[in-house]
Amino acid sequence: MLDFDTAQARLAQAGKAPTHTEKCPLHLAAGRVLAHAVTARLDLPPADNSAMDGYAIRYADYQPGRRLPIQERCYAGQRPQPLREGQATRLFTGSVMPEGADTVVMQEDCTEADDMLEIREAPKAGSHVRKRGEDMQQGGTVLEAGTVLGAAQIAALAAQGVGQLEVFPRLRVGILTTGDELVFPGRELAPAQIYNSNGPMLASLVDGLGAQVLHVLHAVDTDVSVRKAFKMLIKDCDLVLTVGGVSVGEKDLVKPAIEQAGATLDLWRVCMKPGKPVALAHARNKPIVCLPGNPVSAYTVFTLLVTPLIRAMQGRAAILPPVRQARLRSDRVFRESREEFLRVRAQESETGVAEVTPYGNQGSGVVSSLPWATGFARVPVNTDVRDGDLLRYYDCRHWLA
């Protein structure tokens, strides 16, 4: 069997990063991947300004009990006159500092009467002044290529006046489920049928990574149905995900359909639980990843093995999210001949090391464990793991984003 880390690395390298780009308006850029580094066009702030409502003074003019004439009132967006010696300028948060001023005194520490300023609390030299360029400096890098754009990144770009930017195209993903026994939710079940949870689940997972779900298809157990679905998926999509049907049973029709499409299927047995059977193929230089049919196994394999491939094909700079340590809290002893990825719920502790509690039933058919769990705790091969032991923790907040 392939060890988990080797399988993860091979899948991460199974697709190619995008080579062409497209323009995107800034207000529509959430979830997109930046194609080129962005350099600051201007200093931020563009001029020294006040961080408070208050009064700009020369610090050298301050003396206890001394009253300073108020030269002018200057609101944000207005340009103040140079500050004359021995006077003050009334400012508001964001107001440009007048030339000659070096300190802002908060209005709470002052009394104003008859256009005269009395400072009741001694200020500190240079206080409450935002210096030009202290946030961003012209010519500096704002964001690197391969950055996934969220609200924080968009704020930085907007502050630089960026109205549109070059991003990579959205990765187009197709999903195929197979089996006469499966029915999409919302329809009536016939005897011996079950609802198809894999299709909607994978579509949601792909969407959560910022990729585009182009097709969610279901094929019944006939050669014609499976091959027709593959023909469409390979033609339209950059990446194809299938669920089940790659074994050697009479109705495992995915493998021959992939071969019919001109691809060679590399079927792996990965040393992980759940999710041992995984297959990889390429058709027209497009990866096809075949996930195990059990929904819990498909969810686990997608999270830990497929998401690095998707990130690489999106052009992201960061392919593998961080893995942290967490302390197991359980009255069970875990020991497996394959690396087991326990569905766990994490809770922060006073020590700074998260504590993870496994779901009571770790069976691969227990779908109720998925919305309960916050991530996966990795149990090493042939190792007794018990309460208090440190394990590697894969947080779904990072691995599914």
pLDDT in tens, 376-398: 999 999 999 999 999 999 999 99
pLDDT of residue 267: 82
**pLDDT at residue 266, as a whole number:** 87
Q: How confident is the model at residue 249 (pLDDT cuts 50, 70, 90)?
A: low
* Residues 305-312, mean pLDDT to the nearest whole number: 98
Report the pLDDT value the prediction gives residue 254, as an integer from 0 to 100: 87
Q: Report how far residue 88's alpha carbon sits from residue 104's, in angstroms, rounded to the nearest whole number.
A: 10
User: 3-class DSSP state for residue 173?
Assistant: strand
Q: What is the pLDDT of residue 259?
A: 87
Distance, CA of 193 to chain centre = 36
**CATH level 3 topology of 4-19+170-314:** Molybdenum Cofactor Biosythetic Enzyme; Chain A (3.40.980)
User: What are the tens digits of pLDDT across the range 91-103?
Assistant: 999 999 999 999 9
Distances, alpha carbon 361 to alpha carbons 179, 342, 372, in Å: 26, 10, 12
* Residue ranges, CATH 2.40.340.10, the chain: 324-393
For the chain, give the percent of residues with pLDDT over 70.
Answer: 99
**Does position 9 have pLDDT exceeding 60, yes or no?**
yes
pLDDT of residue 264: 82
- In the numeric block, the tokens 């052009």 are attached to 315
∠ CA 307-399-395, nearest 5°, is: 150
**Mean pLDDT, the chain, as a whole number?**
96
CB-based contact 326:393 (threshold 8 Å): yes
Average pLDDT on 272-282 reads: 95
Q: What digits encode the pLDDT tens for the residues 107-165?
A: 999 999 999 999 999 999 999 999 999 999 999 999 999 999 999 999 999 999 999 99
CATH 3.40.980.10-classified regions of the chain: 4-19+170-314
Q: Are 126 and 102 in contact (CB under 8 A)?
A: yes
Residue 351 three-state SS: coil
Determine contact, residues 368/303, Cβ cutoff 8 Å: no
The CATH number assigned to the domain with range 49-130 reads 2.170.190.11
The answer to whether the CB of 342 falls within 8 A of the CB of 394 is: no
Ranges of CATH 2.170.190.11 domains, the chain: 49-130
Q: Are 374 and 346 in contact (CB under 8 A)?
A: yes
Dihedral Cα 362, 367, 373, 375, nearest 10 deg: 80
Residue 293: pLDDT over 80: yes
Phi, psi of 231 (to 5 degrees): -60, -45
pLDDT given at position 362: 96
Q: Which residue has the tokens 């230089």?
A: 285
Structure tokens belonging to residue 377 = 């705790």
Quick one: pLDDT at residue 250? 57
Average of per-residue pLDDT across 291-311:
97
Contact between 378 and 392 (Cβ < 8 Å): yes
pLDDT tens for each residue of 38-69: 999 999 999 999 999 999 999 999 999 999 99
The CATH H-level superfamily of 324-393 is: MoeA, C-terminal, domain IV (2.40.340.10)
Q: From CA 46, how far away is CA 264, in angstroms rounded? A: 58
Whether the CB-CB separation of 134 and 124 falls below 8 Å is answered with no
pLDDT at 248: 54
